[in-house]
Structure 1
């Protein structure tokens, strides 16, 4: 009994995310050595330290005291805390620390006093209090008094011979004193304005000359506007430099930065966001980064620089040590530089995600407005830009890095080269809209293992693509793809993880010609994700050759029966079938999972969440099998269970009903009744499905028939003359968007002499709403659907859209009368299939408030309306 109680106590302690501790139990102790008394606990500092001193059975080494409103620290208040190794006093109001109060903290390694009111950066360059000599990390940023900014100095810390990391505010027109060259342990200095104050408009040769032992220097968001050519020359040990988010530097000035890095041990350079978000596209010129050739740089970060083009031959000067490039959030376009990718001969990882993404317009007001035409010219003559030097370097790279004399390239005869040592390539969410036909990669990237091209518009994968003989992970999800060629995956013979979810592959995977051969060469795939692909039926042999398949995800589809050949799937252990229409799992699939589990000595799993599982004599074998293996059914207790009467029951009741099936299914009458009901339900589903599939056609024809017999005959029909319309356009919109219609659209269109029909002012009172809608569509030359989130939630808006769609198909001789205006960013998952189909085959217009974009929108909109 004692053992049980002890075990239960241990479990409770392990399961507890945090325990109350400290004075009056107002603090939290998530770990045995961490106490958190932060965030306005209003605990006197002496009470906290006395608690630590009195509690002999606890060994607190890390103490959080942030945001407690402390104004001063005295020796008597903290004497009980002297065993601490880490102390956080961030975001208080501390303006005074008694001279020797911290000197007794012989074990203190980390001290964070950021965002207080301490006189750290005074004109004397000294601290009014002494710090423990054991410190390795000191955080003092956020203590800068802006009114005294001009006379501020960095404090003298030469006595801290163990300190390794300093986090300060960045001071304007201030150099680090010579005493910092004596701190041989100092490895990292951060002056970033992202978490503190930093304004260093001018970085001179003297600013950091005494940080001779520093390896990491963070100058991000420091309002740097100019850098001298020797700014970092004396930092002989510098390995990591972060200059990101200094939006006034630009690549023209970056040449000075790269010049001084030749004399350092630089390995990682972050020059992200050297420009504001909005402006002209950036072109990297040959001289901008030319001095990097003479460094041992291994990582280059170029995110969010609006990079559009790279001059020819720039890539020749990438150092042979370069292994990682991060260039996300740019706007790369086609250019000759793409034929010189092989120049990056040792590149292993490239991250180019989020190309051409839409930016938040509010950033325009928050960022500096830099006139790039006025950027200063750097008077450095980089010797590596000479044609003869470039040609020699090109020859050293053995044919993989061609020297381009000019920008004239015959793309039919010249093949781009690929970095031979590339391992990882990410180009996700870039708006690439292509039919992926044959994509030839030379030379063969034998080391490539990871490719992510998800969230694009690669709508058809024809192939062949590659070769990529050793790629193990491929992500092509969310690409609107509806077709895969039989040769597309031929070169991915060692692929192990294939992510192709959220496409439109249902039809091609059920096709008798394509279905069996698409995945034929992917015998080594272990994980496959086919969720959200509108799959209702799979060709039986679609997975036949995937002998190593372990995990198969078919969730969020329309699958009713999973009749696939599993004879060769000897490693299949995990099957995700949630959010389908499955009533049972075939016996051959169940048997295969059991055999695999026994042979591999592992538990198989199936997820049937959000399917409808009913107690039925017809599915007796499957239901009994599922109950027997319910521990293998993921989320079993939350399945949708129904009894024989169709009532929803919980998992416990369902199991009980299944256990009684032997008795309930003994008579013949029950099967007969069940069969009769099943046939009736089946016919109902078939008929209902047919009606549902053609519901809009039927509703339109019924309404038109009603108007034909009970309405009036148009004069143009009677005299066989061309139709004249009462309105130029019928505007279909959600009531929540009325202000946009009245304040923006109506004045703009009526100002051009167009007559509009709006349901709020032109529908006849007393008439049936549906009749009013059809009358308005028929009386209008065009119907404009203003698509928004609220539009998709309105049944009448969707009715108007579909009636206009039917009008275009049946009553206008094939001439479309429907115009779609996208008012706001609407996820495609919220759109109906009819709307998605229409938008795939018809153009639509997107509204924007950006000045030039809005002018173009109205120009296009008026042209379409008048067509």
Structure 2
């Protein structure tokens, strides 16, 4: 039996593709021929000897990083000659034999970076001869900044198959002519992010001998200036990375772009060439001018504190440009926005994180915040002439040209979307708007993907569009409280709609508007409404979504499913995690089963973090859950309870559900329930006696406190004279007689100025606007809590808005006064209301003589004083 388990473990580990191997079993081997002996401190010769003895598997890749190898002897790598990749990084290697790599004939990748090799000493001790089969060589991280000898790049001309070279960048040093013989060298990495790089001045000679180069990475190389001909000899260059040279500045783009005219440039990364806290940057025409004459397809200018473009500067971006990254900048509204249509072939635009806040600690980690000096090496660009710019504008549909020194008529000119634009990414950019009607020009645009998440688009009531090809729309994390059917009428082509983390619960429960919000979105397949404070859903809210496949309603307050699902013929994934669900209706369960049979694929439901109680009234649902437990996402992580409220495991739950048919017919259960009912009745009777006299006790305590301590009004904040009202009265219409006959006369007779919705709301204004106006302009909000109050969606909306206003707008000051007009069971209250009542003092209304007198006195003190 023991051999069986050993065999099982070996098979199980092998199935994952990783198993212990190597000397003393300290290494890990993989099914793809890779052996990892990193951090094992095994001698290199010991590892290679073991590899030479392996007959069942061909080891092609060996990792021995961070093994504290100091010296590689002549025979240390003997018997590793079958390797195609060898990684020796981070070993403090300071010496190697000239014959160390003589055994290799098929080695293609050698990483010997971050050691102590004297690679860059001119006429000094040379590194060993590498195998001529190498295609990738990593020598970066071997330079010593305090080296006193003359610095030089190593002679690698014999590596006639080398395509990728990682090496440290040396100050005032150019690559020698010997590199011209390496015709296969396509990629050169000098980045200071991977090793050492210090190139304050890039001259015309620095790279002139790398004529076959296609990729050049100069990121984080402390560059402060680049000569205009620095890249002119690199005719095959396609990718250039100059990012994270924080003292380079945008003015140097003029010299960079000048030399790129003579290359095959496709991708230019010019991000973070300013310090994070530098002054704002205006992109001028002279900066972009020579780009017009390049083949550039992708441009990155992230984190440059860009604020605006000089008028007509966008006309100078090359026609070949497809992708632009302008993230983490400081853009403001100026006429350049009216010229976006000039980027005629732009397909993807990334402008996320505009106006982002940065950690102040970054200021001390970056170079001195200075304005880079610029001494131009070239004369004025010929493409900047007004006639040339005017001709560009006329050749591109939707590209507006503005005459110099003439006022711009914004009524006749408005932004145009580049015709080929497919993706717009503008998340977390502090856009703070109430969205009104926006016409997208041209109407036959090609937009397919729009991400506006993480902004403050708090209300969207008017149509935006048209979007004939839009598939993905993200409006999540926008503090949105209102979306109307009119707003979504141009979104008929959208298939994926992300609306999570908003405040749409009230509007989605509204029978009139909530039932029609998604009516126009007939092609919707994925809808995310997570974290929207949803208590219930309008019955017909999903009626038109016949193609809907995935619906996410997680992290809400839903306890009962109320939406119609008759037309949800494709629904196969339903996320109800973090709600108060204890049962799903039969019609929803039947629809999911029908969809599974129709499409021959399993439906999935996520009910984690809901409490599932094993009780008779939910027997059908519980048995359905057990029958389809494989369809329940992470079923064993669900919260299960027995009928007494005790937490039970998934296995116990399954066993109890299987016995439900019998137990639900048992007289024992009836006896237990009767005993519980009797005990509950006695508890209520005793509690009622105490409750009946509670006001007398509280009244005596109140009189005692006043007699011994007197009255003193304590407040932490000064009187705010900016409020229009002392209090806004929130109540259900069923309690209007109490409010109008008792509460309002009493408070107003004692000097309070009140706002009452039936009397003081402005006619013709949106109800939501009236509510928010009343709360924000009242010193206090008085909520008359009754059974009718908690059943009213509008009343609960007023309560929640007042609660949010209390937390976020008034620094947690006590501006919400709760009056318990009736005794309401806790199960009728929302989670938010229960939490508020548990943490804050409230007033209880009573008709008891002493209690009523105390109530009116306390309420008046809470509002007027």
Under a length normalisation based on structure 1, what TM-score does the superposition of the two structures give?
0.79
User: Which residue of structure 1 aligns with residue 780 of structure 2?
Assistant: 809
Matches within 5 A, 1:503-514: 503-514=502-513
Cα distance change of structure 1 residues 674 and 313 upon mapping to structure 2, 3 Å threshold: farther
User: Which residue of structure 1 aligns with residue 296 of structure 2?
Assistant: 297
> In the TM superposition, what whole-angstrom CA distance separates every residue of 1:256-275 from its partner, at most 9, and x where no partner exists?
00000000000000000110
User: Which residue of structure 2 aligns with residue 816 of structure 1?
Assistant: none
Report the Cα offset of residue 433 of structure 1. Answer: 1.2
Report the Cα offset of residue 147 of structure 1. Answer: 2.2
Matches within 5 A, 1:538-577: 538-577=537-576
In the alignment, the residues of structure 2 paired with residue 662 and residue 706 of structure 1 have an alpha-carbon distance, to the nearest angstrom, of 60
In the alignment, the residues of structure 1 paired with residue 85 and residue 587 of structure 2 have an alpha-carbon distance, to the nearest angstrom, of 61
Report the Cα offset of residue 443 of structure 1. Answer: 0.9
Alpha carbons 2:117, 2:127 under 8 Å: kept: no
In the alignment, the residues of structure 1 paired with residue 551 and residue 677 of structure 2 have an alpha-carbon distance, to the nearest angstrom, of 31
User: Which residue of structure 2 aligns with residue 712 of structure 1?
Assistant: 710
Report the Cα offset of residue 82 of structure 1. Answer: 0.9
User: Which residue of structure 2 aligns with residue 665 of structure 1?
Assistant: 664
Report the Cα offset of residue 709 of structure 1. Answer: 7.2
Cα distance change of structure 1 residues 159 and 479 upon mapping to structure 2, 3 Å threshold: same
Q: Decide which moves more: 400-409 or 425-434.
A: 400-409
Report the Cα offset of residue 708 of structure 1. Answer: 5.8
Cα distance change of structure 1 residues 45 and 702 upon mapping to structure 2, 3 Å threshold: farther
Alpha carbons 1:617, 1:671 under 8 Å: kept: no
Cα distance change of structure 1 residues 588 and 702 upon mapping to structure 2, 3 Å threshold: farther
> In the TM superposition, what whole-angstrom CA distance separates every residue of 1:17-73 from its partner, at most 9, and x where no partner exists?
63221111111113341111112x221111011001112222111111111121211
In the alignment, the residues of structure 2 paired with residue 229 and residue 480 of structure 1 have an alpha-carbon distance, to the nearest angstrom, of 49
User: Which residue of structure 1 aligns with residue 525 of structure 2?
Assistant: 526
Q: Does 1:36 align with 2:36?
A: yes
Alpha carbons 1:149, 1:172 under 8 Å: kept: no
User: Which residue of structure 2 aligns with residue 611 of structure 1?
Assistant: 610
Q: Does 1:137 align with 2:132?
A: no
Cα distance change of structure 1 residues 367 and 37 upon mapping to structure 2, 3 Å threshold: same
> In the TM superposition, what whole-angstrom CA distance separates every residue of 1:684-716 from its partner, at most 9, and x where no partner exists?
9xxxxxxxxxxxxxxx999999866764246xx
> In the TM superposition, what whole-angstrom CA distance separates every residue of 1:536-593 from its partner, at most 9, and x where no partner exists?
0100100000000011111111001112111111001111111111110001001101
In the alignment, the residues of structure 1 paired with residue 328 and residue 100 of structure 2 have an alpha-carbon distance, to the nearest angstrom, of 49
SS in 2 for 1:288: helix
In the alignment, the residues of structure 2 paired with residue 53 and residue 303 of structure 1 have an alpha-carbon distance, to the nearest angstrom, of 50
Alpha carbons 2:402, 2:408 under 8 Å: kept: no
In the alignment, the residues of structure 2 paired with residue 456 and residue 90 of structure 1 have an alpha-carbon distance, to the nearest angstrom, of 44
SS in 2 for 1:195: coil
Report the Cα offset of residue 729 of structure 1. Answer: 7.1
> Any stretches of 5+ residues in structure 2 without a counterpart?
684-697, 720-775, 783-799, 814-865
Report the Cα offset of residue 434 of structure 1. Answer: 1.1
Alpha carbons 2:324, 2:348 under 8 Å: kept: yes
Corresponding residue pairs, total:
726
Alpha carbons 1:336, 1:407 under 8 Å: kept: no
Alpha carbons 2:255, 2:378 under 8 Å: kept: no
Alpha carbons 2:277, 2:369 under 8 Å: kept: no
In the alignment, the residues of structure 2 paired with residue 844 and residue 313 of structure 1 have an alpha-carbon distance, to the nearest angstrom, of 50
Matches within 5 A, 1:837-852: 837-838=805-806, 841=809
Q: Does 1:836 align with 2:835?
A: no
Q: Decide which moves more: 543-552 or 144-153.
A: 144-153
Report the Cα offset of residue 418 of structure 1. Answer: 0.8
Alpha carbons 1:32, 1:59 under 8 Å: kept: no
Alpha carbons 1:323, 1:349 under 8 Å: kept: yes
Report the Cα offset of residue 399 of structure 1. Answer: 3.5
Alpha carbons 1:161, 1:184 under 8 Å: kept: yes
Q: Does 1:25 align with 2:25?
A: yes
User: Which residue of structure 1 aligns with residue 836 of structure 2?
Assistant: none
Report the Cα offset of residue 605 of structure 1. Answer: 1.3
> In the TM superposition, what whole-angstrom CA distance separates every residue of 1:225-271 from its partner, at most 9, and x where no partner exists?
11111110010000000000111111111110000000000000000
Alpha carbons 1:149, 1:171 under 8 Å: kept: no
Cα distance change of structure 1 residues 659 and 335 upon mapping to structure 2, 3 Å threshold: same
In the alignment, the residues of structure 1 paired with residue 699 and residue 346 of structure 2 have an alpha-carbon distance, to the nearest angstrom, of 62
SS in 2 for 1:289: helix
Cα distance change of structure 1 residues 354 and 14 upon mapping to structure 2, 3 Å threshold: farther
Report the Cα offset of residue 124 of structure 1. Answer: 2.6
Over the residues paired in the alignment, what is the CA RMSD in angstroms? 3.2
SS in 1 for 2:493: coil
Report the Cα offset of residue 629 of structure 1. Answer: 1.4
User: Which residue of structure 2 aligns with residue 463 of structure 1?
Assistant: 462
Under a length normalisation based on structure 2, what TM-score does the superposition of the two structures give?
0.79
User: Which residue of structure 2 aligns with residue 819 of structure 1?
Assistant: none
Alpha carbons 2:248, 2:372 under 8 Å: kept: no
SS in 2 for 1:146: coil
Matches within 5 A, 1:670-685: none
Cα distance change of structure 1 residues 374 and 235 upon mapping to structure 2, 3 Å threshold: closer
SS in 1 for 2:622: helix
Q: Does 1:308 align with 2:307?
A: yes
Report the Cα offset of residue 476 of structure 1. Answer: 1.0
Report the Cα offset of residue 389 of structure 1. Answer: 0.7
Cα distance change of structure 1 residues 466 and 675 upon mapping to structure 2, 3 Å threshold: farther
Alpha carbons 2:389, 2:401 under 8 Å: kept: no
User: Which residue of structure 2 aligns with residue 392 of structure 1?
Assistant: 391
> In the TM superposition, what whole-angstrom CA distance separates every residue of 1:207-226 from its partner, at most 9, and x where no partner exists?
10010000000001111111
Alpha carbons 1:21, 1:29 under 8 Å: kept: yes
Alpha carbons 1:85, 1:107 under 8 Å: kept: yes
Alpha carbons 1:444, 1:467 under 8 Å: kept: yes
Q: Does 1:116 align with 2:115?
A: yes
SS in 1 for 2:662: helix
Q: Does 1:582 align with 2:550?
A: no
Q: Decide which moves more: 360-369 or 583-592.
A: 360-369
SS in 2 for 1:250: coil
User: Which residue of structure 1 aligns with residue 271 of structure 2?
Assistant: 272
